[in-house]
Structure formats: structure tokens, C-alpha cells
Amino acid sequence: MNWLKSIAIAFVLVAAMTASAEAGRVGGPMTVTVTVPAGQSVYYDVPFNANELATANVRGTGRSMVQVNLYDADGNVAIGHGNWDRVSASMNVYRGGSFRIEIVNIGPQDNTVVLMTN
């Protein structure tokens, strides 16, 4: 019975390593720093794997409020939640492909933010 238990443990380990290697963004997590002008938006097109969670986290300098929107190719949108310029948006990816992450600066001053994806 020990050999059966060993095989089961090995299978679980291989499945876990495979899932984590392909989780989220194609190519792994991404971090980018960008300055979003007052009253304007910037966007990034980011590829995500199917059957995983797509997340976009924004952390700013506190100069103004920002909004994060995550769009898939079918027109679905996830609106970010958080406080001031610390906002996160996430969406289940049912079909892999390019997702648009839009960062909107709704304040009166430019804001330098860090965008992080999974």
C-alpha cells in the first residue's frame, strides 16, 4: 500500500507544479511602473491563460484617486475595488487570450503607480 500512497503524492506534486507554472499571466507575473496623467488613462494588453484567475493590482503614490478596469475579448469587464490609489480587479479567465487593463486617474494631479499582475 505504501507504493500506491507514494504514487498519489507524486501525482499531486506534479499537478501542483504544472498548475503554478501556467497560472495567471502568460509568461508569469508582471510589474510595471507608469505615470498616469491627471484626468486621463493608460492601458496595457496582457495575455492570460484559460481556467485561471486574472488579477491587476495598482498601488500609487497617494497623489490622486485611480480606477482599474479589466476587460476580456468578449466585452466582459471587472471594475476594480479598493481605496484611493490602492485598487485591485480580478476576473476568471474562461477563454485564454489578451485582456486589457485600464488605469484611470480620476484626480487633478498626475499619479505614478505600480501595476502588478499574477
Q: How far is CA 94 from CA 1, 30, 40, 42, in A?
A: 39, 21, 30, 25
3-state secondary structure 62-81: CCCCEEEEEECCCCCEEECE
Show the cell assigned to 87: 485598487
Residues 25 and 17: their CA atoms lie apart, in Å, by 16
Per-residue pLDDT of the chain (118 residues; tens, 9 = 90+): 454 444 444 444 344 444 444 467 777 778 999 999 999 999 999 999 999 999 999 999 999 999 999 999 999 999 999 999 999 999 999 999 999 999 999 999 999 999 999 9
Phi, psi of 3 (to 5 degrees): -65, -35
pLDDT at site 23: 63
Nearest alpha carbon to residue 66 among 32, 107, 109: 107
Could you tell me the domains of the chain? 2-117 (2.60.120.380)
Show the cell assigned to 20: 503554478
In which element (H, E) is residue 89 found?
strand 86-93
pLDDT at site 67: 97
Write down how long the chain is: 118
